[in-house]
């Protein structure tokens, strides 16, 4: 059975309210302090924007992180 335009409009408005409520909760919450959120992009590779993090953690062993998967 097809939905009427009134039903579709009601569903659209409800989805819009839910999206706005979730966005408000996300804005009010504390920032994420996970490792991936606090570290710069591509740590321990030659692409890292922070020069101090371009070398591997283990100094005695050269590890190529760009080709490792």
Q: How far is CA 16 from the centre of its chain?
A: 22
pLDDT of residue 6: 92
pTM of the model: 0.45
Question: Using one digit for the tens of pLDDT, what is the confidence trace for 38-59?
Answer: 888 888 888 888 888 888 777 5
In tens, the pLDDT along 14-23 reads 999 999 999 9
Name the 3-class secondary structure at 52.
helix
Q: Give the Cα separation of 49 and 45 in Å (integer).
A: 9
Domain ranges of the chain: 1-30, 33-69
């Amino acid at each position: 059975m097809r939905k009427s335009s009134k039903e579709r409009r009601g569903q659209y408005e409800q989805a819009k309210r839910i999206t706005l409520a979730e966005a408000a909760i996300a804005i009010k919450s504390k920032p994420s302090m996970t490792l991936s959120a606090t570290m710069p992009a591509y740590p321990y590779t030659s692409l890292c924007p922070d020069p101090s993090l371009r070398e591997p953690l283990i100094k005695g062993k050269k590890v190529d992180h760009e080709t490792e998967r």
